Amino acid sequence: MVDRIGDIWGTRTPFGRGEKWPVRVDQKLADGLGEDDVDRWVQSACTLCSNGCACDIAVKDGRMVGVRGRAIDTVNHGRLGPKGLFGSWQGMSNGDRLTRPLIRIGGELVETDWDTAMSRIVERSRQLLADKGPLSHAFYTSGQLFLEEYYALAILGKAGIGTPHMDGNTRLCTATAAAAMKESFGADGQPGSYADIDECDAMFLFGHNMAETQTVLWARVLDRIAGPDRPRIVCIDPRETEVARVADVHLAVRPGTNQALMNGLIRELFMNGWIDEAYIAAHTIGVDRLRAVVEPWTPDAVAETCGVSVDDVREAAQIFGTSARVLSTVLQGFYQSAQATAASCQVNNMHLLRGKLGAPGSGVLQMNGQPTAQNNRECGADGDLPGFRNWENSEHVRELATLWDVDISIIAHQAPPTHAMQIFQYVEQGNIEFLWISATNPAISMPELERIRAILGQENVFLVVQDLYLTETALFADVVLPAAGWGEKTGTFTNADRTVHLSDKAVEPPGEARSDLDIFLDYSARMNFRTNSGAPLLDWAGPEDGFRAWQDCSRGRPCDYTGITYTRLRGGSGIPWPCNDEHPEGTVRLYGDGVFATEPDDCETFGHDLLTGASAGEQAFRALETHGRAVFKAAPYAPPSEEPDADFPLRYTTGRTAYQFHTRTRTGRARQLNNAAPSAWLEISVLDAGRLDIVEGDTVRVTSRRGALVVPARVSNVREGTVFAPFHYGYWDSGRPGPDGHPTAANELTMTEWDPVSKQPLFKNAAVRVEKVADGTSPSPAPTTAASRPADSGGVPVTVGGPDAEAHESTSPIKLPAVAPEQGTDAVPCMHHPQPSPVPPV
C-alpha cells in the first residue's frame, strides 16, 4: 500500500523513449470497503486539474464511495493524483451541500422552492431588459462545467439576451494560453500531446510547476527520467519546485521578467544558427522583426535583468537549440505575469524557429489550469464566439445567426467582448445590474479582494450564484441555486491536450440540486427565448441533445467534434479533436503539415499589438498574406508596473499546492487533503527570513498597497527577494465572506492589472513588505512534500497521510471495468430524492 499523501506521484514505472508508458491502476475506496462491496462502477474523468485523467466512480447504496483510474485511457494509463483519489468523490458528499434554492429576504438568505427562486430571477431579468437592454446583463462562469452546459449558456447569453458581457474564471487561469495560440497559429488548440513526453529528448517547463498542478502528468515525466534515456529538463520558476530539483537547468527568474529571458533565449538560437531556415521560409512570416527585437538581449543583459546565471542562459538555449525532439509546456508562471501573451508567444516562436511542431516528441502545450477551460473557450461561454470563430469576421457571426436561427443583430460583435476584469468594473460603475455567477468564487479568486467584496455587495446589482456549496461569493447573492456536480450529471469535457471524455451520471444529486444544464434550460424557457421561426431557442431534452447541437456548431472548424459521439466515448479512451471524416480516430498533434489556421477567412483573430493590446484589424491582417503560415509575434521587454521599493522591498507571487484546488470548495472537504495542507502560509527565503528575524512558524504580516495577509511563515528555498503564498485559502470554513480581521486570502494583496492582449490578471507581480508579528508555537502548516518544503527540515513534521490516505496501486494487467448500462444520458435529477443510505465513513 502506498501513502499517496506522502508520495504524491506514486510508484515509479520507468520506460524509455518511444516505449509505451506502463499501466498503473490507482484506486481508493471508502474506509472498510473492498471491490466486492461496490454495487457498480460508472465511467468518468477527474475534474480537479486540467489533466483529464479517466476514472471510474465506485457506487454503493446510491452514493459515491471511491474511484479508480481507467487503464485503457491514453491520458493517464490508470493513474490518479491525490486530488483525484481523495477529493473527487469526497468533495461532493459533505453535509453542507446546498440542497434547496435560497433567496435574500430582509438581508438574510432563506430556503425556498425552485419556482420562487427562478421567478425572482426571471422577473428581474425581464425588467432590466425592458428598461435598460442587454448590456445590463452579465454572466461569469467557470472552467469546471461540462461542454453541453457552456454551449447552452453561450446560446442564451449571445442569442437570447444579446449581451457581450460573458466570461469565465478561465480569464484568471489560462486566457493567455488561448491568446498566444491565436496570435501565433491563428486559432486556439494545443499543438502538442501528452504523448510527446514519451518521445522527447528535452523538455522545457515555462512557469509550470507540473509536479503540483498536474501530478499525473509529472509522474509520466518522472517515469521517463527513471528510464534508460532520460530527457533533459529545463525549469523556469522563481521557486525550487520538484521540477527544479530534477532539472538540468533551473532559471529562477525574478517575477515579471519572463519576456527578457525569452528574448535572450531566442537571440541565442539566432546567434548560434540553431534555426531551421527552410521551415521558417516555408511556414512562417515576420522573422526579421523578431530578430531585430531580440538583438539587445545578450546573455549578460538577461542575467542582470532576470537575476540568473549567464552560463545557465546559454546552457538552456543550447539544450533547446540542439535537441532533436523538444517539448515545451507553459502555465501560470507566464500567464499571470507581466507581458503574459508576449512571453508565451515567444515559446511558440522558439518552436517555429526550429520547426519543432506536430511531430512525436516535438510540440507546445500552452496548458490549462482547469478541467474544462478548453470547453469554455470552444463553446463561447467566455468572450469568444463558439467554434473558434472570429468576432471581427462578419461572416463568422452570420454563420452563428443562421445556425441558431436568430437575427445577426442580436449577437453582440460591434466591439471586443467584455472580459472578466471589465465585467466587474462595469458592475462597480452601475452599468451592469444583473450578474449570474456559476461554479466559481470570485470573492477569493479575483485580484484586490477588498474591492471585489465591495462590488459584490453593492445594492444595485442583482446577484445570482449557482454552486455546490455556500461559498464566500454566494454569501453576497440575492438568489443561490443548488447545482449538481461531478458524478451527479452526464456530460463531456475536454482536457488540456484536446482529449474529450464522457462523464456519466453515477448518483442523484442531493436534495433538490439540479444540473447546470437543467438550470440554464429552465431559465431560457421561462424567458421564452425564441428563434426566428418561433421554436424555443434551447429545445434540448438533455445533455446528448446539447452535444449534437455542439457538433453542428463545430463542424468544419478547428475544434471539429463531428466524429465524436457518446457511444464512441463509452467504454474506451478519450478522443482528441479534431475528429471527423478526415480524422476518424481524432488528431493527436496539430500542424504536422506546417499549415496553420491563419487564413483571414478562417482565423480566430486578426491579431494584436503585444504591448498595447490594440487589434491589428482585418485589413492589416489580410495585408500580411499569411497563406496558412504561422506568425512570429515579438515585443520588447517592459518592466512590471509595480517594482519593489523602500516601502515594499519584496516581490510577491502566488500559486498552487498539490493538495488543494482553487478555493478549496471540494478539496477542503476531503479530510486527507485538508490535513495535508489545512491553512495558508507564506514562503520566504533563508536570507530574507534571517534579515527580518523570522524563523519557521512565526506569524508574519505581508502588506501590499492594497491589503494585508497574516499567516505563518515557511522558511523555504524560494529565491531571495521573492515571497510566495498559495491562493486557495479564503474564509468559507469560518462562515465569513471576508477576513474580519484575520486575512488569509492571497489575493488581498494582488492588483487590478491585466495583460493587454489576453486580459489575464497579473497575480505573479506585486511589491510587498513582510514583518514578524508573533513568535511561532509550531511549524508552518505548509506541506513538506513539494515546492513548499522547508529549507531546514529539522523540527518540521513530514507531511504524511496515515492509514486513511493509503491508495491501492496495481501494475498487473487489469480488466477494463464495465460501465453500468442504466447510466443514460437524458436522466433528469429527481426533485425530491430521499437521503441516500449510509455507507462507512470516508
For the cut 50, the answer to whether the pLDDT of residue 815 exceeds it is no
For the cut 60, the answer to whether the pLDDT of residue 750 exceeds it is yes
pLDDT value at position 83? 98
Query: Taking phi first (over 0 means left), then psi (-120 to 50 degrees means alpha), and beta for anything else, what does residue 197 get?
Result: alpha
Calculate mean pLDDT across residues 606-623: 97
All cell numbers assigned to 510? 442531493
All cell numbers assigned to 825? 444520458
pLDDT value at position 482? 98
All cell numbers assigned to 362? 516535438
What is the Cα–Cα distance from 431 to 461, expressed in whole angstroms?
Answer: 9
**Are the C-beta atoms of residues 147 and 377 closer than 8 Å to each other?**
no
Mean pLDDT rounded to a whole number for the chain: 95
For the cut 50, the answer to whether the pLDDT of residue 68 exceeds it is yes
For the cut 50, the answer to whether the pLDDT of residue 827 exceeds it is no
For the cut 90, the answer to whether the pLDDT of residue 587 exceeds it is yes
For the cut 50, the answer to whether the pLDDT of residue 842 exceeds it is no
pLDDT: which is higher, 839 or 39:
39
What percent of the chain lies above the pLDDT cut of 70?
Answer: 96
For the cut 70, the answer to whether the pLDDT of residue 141 exceeds it is yes
Calculate mean pLDDT across residues 378-399: 96
- Distance spanning both ends of the chain, measured CA to CA: 18
DSSP conformation class of 295: T
What is the Cα–Cα distance from 203 to 829, expressed in whole angstroms?
Answer: 45
For the cut 70, the answer to whether the pLDDT of residue 832 exceeds it is no
What is the Cα–Cα distance from 405 to 386, expressed in whole angstroms?
Answer: 15
415-457 pLDDT per residue, tens: 999 999 999 999 999 999 999 999 999 999 999 999 999 999 9
pLDDT value at position 756? 97
Q: Degrees (nearest 5) of the Cα angle 487, 167, 217?
A: 50
What percent of the chain lies above the pLDDT cut of 90?
Answer: 93
Calculate mean pLDDT across residues 486-506: 97
For the cut 50, the answer to whether the pLDDT of residue 831 exceeds it is no
Q: Cell 518540521 identifies what position?
A: 796
**Are the C-beta atoms of residues 57 and 823 closer than 8 Å to each other?**
no
What is the Cα–Cα distance from 198 to 325, expressed in whole angstroms?
Answer: 11
263-287 pLDDT per residue, tens: 999 999 999 999 999 999 999 999 9
250-269 pLDDT per residue, tens: 999 999 999 999 999 999 99
**How many CA atoms within 13 Å lie on the side-chain side of 522?**
16
Confidence of residue 735 (pLDDT cuts 50, 70, 90): confident
**Are the C-beta atoms of residues 764 and 785 closer than 8 Å to each other?**
no
For the cut 50, the answer to whether the pLDDT of residue 820 exceeds it is no
What is the Cα–Cα distance from 842 to 838, expressed in whole angstroms?
Answer: 11
For the cut 50, the answer to whether the pLDDT of residue 694 exceeds it is yes
Q: Look at 133-147, 313-327, 712-726, 788-802 and tell me which has the smallest mean pLDDT.
A: 788-802
Q: Look at 498-502, 508-512, 643-647, 832-836 and tell me which has the smallest mean pLDDT.
A: 832-836
Amino acid at 778: S
Residue 300's CB: how many other CB atoms inside 10 A? 11
Confidence of residue 26 (pLDDT cuts 50, 70, 90): very high
For the cut 50, the answer to whether the pLDDT of residue 839 exceeds it is no
For the cut 70, the answer to whether the pLDDT of residue 822 exceeds it is no
From the centroid of its chain, how far is CA 675? 24
Nearest to 588 by CA among 575, 570, 571: 575
